[in-house]
Amino acid sequence: MKKQPVRIAIWGFGAMGSGMAKMILNKQGFDIVGVVDTYEGFVGKSIFSFLNTQNPYTHDVFIERNIDRILLEESVDLVLLATDSFTKKAFPKIKQIIESGVNVISTAEEMAFPMAKEPELSKEMDYLAKKHNATILGTGVNPGMMMDLLAICISGVMSDVENMKISRINSLSPFGPTVMEEQGVGLTKQSFEDKMAHGEISGHVGFIESTHMIANALGLKVQSFEQNMAPIITSVDRKSKYGFAKANDVAGVDMRSHAILSNQTKIDMIHPQQIEPEMEGTQTGDYIQIEGTPAIHLSNVPEVEGGIGTIAICVNMIPHVINAKPGLKTMIDLPVPRAIMGDVRTMIDEEE
């Protein structure tokens, strides 16, 4: 058991980073020792006034513009990095953290299985992490759990896995302006199609990472992979906190992928995401169907909400990342995720 509190820094204080801070403040055995965000409206502010919560510590935490001082002076155990979606963009930040000998958990979707799209950067991250005695993990609700790890875990009670169909029908309503823009919410169909043709609609990032994670866990390779996206057109006006789509415009994106693995197993992923799905009778949910012995049909209705799911899994993986051997890890390398309900220090193997 670790005697001192687990010292956490948070890099990126948006919806995910600030949510992680709130969760950590309600847990025992943690100490938030630094927060970084470049947004001018945040810099210099106390996180406690920002979160409108009491300060349980004997020190304040002011949001800083860069992480240099924190890595140098605060003996950080782990950085929660919540700034990016893509490995290439997260890489320089991850590099700086691990070169300081500090562990990192990234919310970047591609970091959930970075070997899928960035094999060279993955090798470099693994090399640097081992050299500097640090551990790197990418995780989140999806990719990271609902469309990959959960299917992998349940395959543990199967003697034979055949085709998989994994669906996540979710609501975009809790998300902010960045997500609305990335998903094309509120655009006309024509403008969505124009932007899609120019690669300006990101849709869901993560199918290829989830597919590779599953294949790797099953001891197989991905032989072919394709994905596509289509606009979800609403027939009624829909309004969420940050999004608005009028009738006949785009309320979200329907993403699909199809992969064939080296033994001809097929993995299909279905992920329609939109604001206010209930307005047209769409019920959110997570579904995993695996053919094989025995066949598995898991269903969770409504969906695990993406925001809290990501915040929780990142915080809950902190002790496992601190305990892990150095290197680049994925969710299939670390112990089973679980909610931290007691003092986190009891989950840390030993004082470093």
Q: Give me the residues that bind ligand NAD (CB under 6 A), please.
A: 11-17, 36-39, 82-85, 107, 109, 112, 140-144, 176, 178, 306, 310
Residue showing the smallest CB distance to ligand NAD in the complex:
14
Which residue, 14 or 292, is less far from ligand NAD as judged by CB? Answer: 14
Q: Least separation, in Å, of the C-beta of 247 and ligand NAD? A: 28
Q: Least separation, in Å, of the C-beta of 176 and ligand NAD? A: 5
Three-class SS state of 261: strand
The dihedral built from the CA positions of residue 56, 59, 60 and 65, taken in this order, carries a sign that is negative
Q: How far apart are CA 17 and CA 61, in angstroms?
A: 14
Q: Least separation, in Å, of the C-beta of 345 and ligand NAD? A: 27
Which residue, 161 or 286, is less far from ligand NAD as judged by CB? Answer: 286
Which ranges of the chain would DSSP assign to H, the alpha helix? 15-25, 47-51, 68-73, 87-99, 119-131, 149-154, 177-183, 189-197, 207-217, 306-316, 318-323
- Cα 327 to Cα 10, 63, 125, 145, 242: the distances in Å are 20, 29, 7, 21, 39
Contact 272, 169 (CB under 8 A): yes
Q: Least separation, in Å, of the C-beta of 84 and ligand NAD? A: 5
Which residue, 103 or 265, is less far from ligand NAD as judged by CB? Answer: 103
Which residue, 12 or 272, is less far from ligand NAD as judged by CB? Answer: 12
Residue 309: phi and psi, rounded to 5, are: -60, -45
Residues in the chain: 352
Which residue, 176 or 285, is less far from ligand NAD as judged by CB? Answer: 176
Q: Least separation, in Å, of the C-beta of 150 and ligand NAD? A: 13
